[in-house]
Amino acid sequence: MRLTKILETIEKKLKMIPDPQEILKKAVTWGLGPRSLELLRRALEVESLGAMPFSMYDAPPIVEEAVDDAIIVDADGKRYIDMMAGFAVNNVGHHRKEVLVAIIEQFNRLVQYSEMLSEVRIKLGEKLVQITPGSFKKKVFYGLTGSDANEVAIKLARYYTGRPIIITQWADYHGRTIGTVPFTTSFSTWSQNYPLMGADMNVVRIPFPYCYRCPCNPKAETCEECAEDCLYIVEYMFTHTYYGLRDPLSKSTNVAGFLIEPYQSAAGYMIPPDNWLPGLYKLAREYDALFMVDEIQTGWARTGKMWAVDHYPGVEPDLVMVAKSIANGLPFSAVIGRAEIMDSWGPGAHSSTFAGYMLGCAAALKTIEIIERENLAYQAKVKGEKFLKGLQDLMQRHPILGYVEGKGLYIGVEFVKDRQSKKPATEETKWMTMRLMQKGMLVKRAGYLGNRFALSPPLVISEETLNRALEIFDEVFSEAEEKFNIR
């Protein structure tokens, strides 16, 4: 019996592996061009099937270049409206000559030298402590990726407080490295770490107030009520000793801090009710826990403000983790936090050969300059409001749209078979992802139930292109409703 169960588990995991020949057949079905088909065949010979593109599309496009106004071009010259910005990386656009000039100038000076200090690195640090939230003295620790930044924050919080437990939200995404996997609660992430996921026993997870499907109170009448019910659960955990977080009598606590995505990105661009983050921050302060925010996707003007937490006056995180758009396509990340926390461990406490490399610093400085000079936060706000209104107008005509939410150009769209039951339109969403690709748009499918689009175009996208995107959505939603009999 035990052997049967093990074999069943292995069989189910094997079914997660795509058949290369099926990928090629689907590429033909969805109309990839001859050059793209040739390159896809070659890719399947040399690329691991565990690569991200094979999870995003039945047959991924072969992207070769970008042109102005948020357009991606494939190997056959087909143009696509970019609704991903490379996972919220290319916020300032794909072709910024200023960034290229800064890279070339720094390349001609020095690219990298074993994490050593340099003027460009110091200038970037001075800028980061200036523009991140918090009215206290701050310092910086550099890394390369978002996962890297989160690992630094996890280690630092535990070292500074002398406590083991870090609280995160269910469905947060903080990375896929062995150190961050326990903080990224998606089935696919955990199931791929076979037979054991990252062995961190000191992670406690709390519910995220997913308003459309409230996990704390499905009968909540408002989003704010959903958040209040979730906050009640968190406080309950702090005030009852057998949850392991804190002893109410002695005031002793095992909690180092909260590691929080202010808005849930990989889960589908989900925005909590307005009372959630302030309420969570209040609990962190009341129970002496650090408040660490992962602004890796939500930062850099994406939500209509420089940082997502800027939407909540009074919330001053102890640590802020940034990456993605910081260097407009070059790998780079940083942790910015209270000076006393950042200086609480000794020299060499964490190291990465390319951390703070000069080329990345130069690109980051120029990217930040563009974001500020062109007021991209305001651009994101104005464009996002119009685009969100356009999607809400589409809801009036398309029953497949169950829910639309967004701030700036950070927009989540959820699809349902029926609005009354909210039954997720998972198969339909997967089909629409490919149909949109076929019609010239690249989107990221996401969601707790695989039934959402996470929309994050470059912030410099034109209103004309956004309007064209709405037209294509209108066409594809109609086709999906007809194909899947959604009335």
Return the domain boundaries, the chain. Answer: 2-94+376-483, 97-373
- Strands 203-206 and 290-294, sheet pairing: unpaired
pLDDT at 47 over 90: yes
Sign of the Cα torsion 302, 303, 308, 311 reads positive
Q: What dihedral angle (degrees, nearest 10) is formed by the CA atoms of 264, 269, 274, 275? A: -20
Q: Residue 349 has what DSSP assignment?
A: S
12 or 352, which is more confident: 352
Q: Looking at residue 7, what is its pLDDT?
A: 76
Mean pLDDT taken over the chain: 95
Handedness of CA 98, 104, 106, 108 (dihedral sign): negative
8 A C-beta contact, residue 256 and residue 166: yes
In the structure encoding, which two tokens stand for residue 266, read together? 């990989």
What digits encode the pLDDT tens for the residues 407-435?
999 999 999 999 999 999 999 999 999 99
Q: Among 127-131, 195-199, 227-231, 384-388, which stretch is predicted with the lowest mean pLDDT?
A: 195-199
The CATH number of 2-94+376-483 is which of 1.10.3720.10, 3.40.50.720, 3.90.1150.10, 3.40.50.300? 3.90.1150.10
Tokens in use for 185? 């609660």
Joined together, the tokens standing for residue 365 give 């400085």
Q: Is 191 a residue whose pLDDT tops 80?
A: no
CATH class held by domain 97-373: alpha beta
Query: What's the pLDDT at 4?
Result: 81
One-letter amino acid for residue 115 of the chain: E
- Region 231-251: mean pLDDT is 95
Please determine, for residue 196, whether its predicted confidence score (pLDDT) is greater than 70: no
C-alpha to C-alpha distance for 312 and 316, rounded to whole angstroms: 9
Decide if pLDDT at 198 tops 90.
no
Look at residues 427, 416, 414, 421 and name the one whose alpha carbon lies nearest to residue 211.
414
Dump strand ranges (E) for 39-115. Answer: 63-67, 71-74, 79-82
Q: Helix (H, G, I), strand (E, B), or coil: what is residue 145?
A: coil
Lowest mean pLDDT among 70-84, 140-154, 175-189, 457-471: 175-189
- C-alpha of 121 from chain center: 26
User: Structure pTM?
Assistant: 0.95
**pLDDT of the residue at 461:** 98
Residues 331-343, mean pLDDT to the nearest whole number? 98
Contact between 126 and 302 (Cβ < 8 Å): no
DSSP string, 367-379: HHHHHHHTTHHHH
CA 440 to chain CA mean position, Å: 23
- pLDDT computed for residue 472 by the predictor: 98
What pLDDT sits at residue 184? 87
Does residue 195 carry a pLDDT above 80? Answer: no
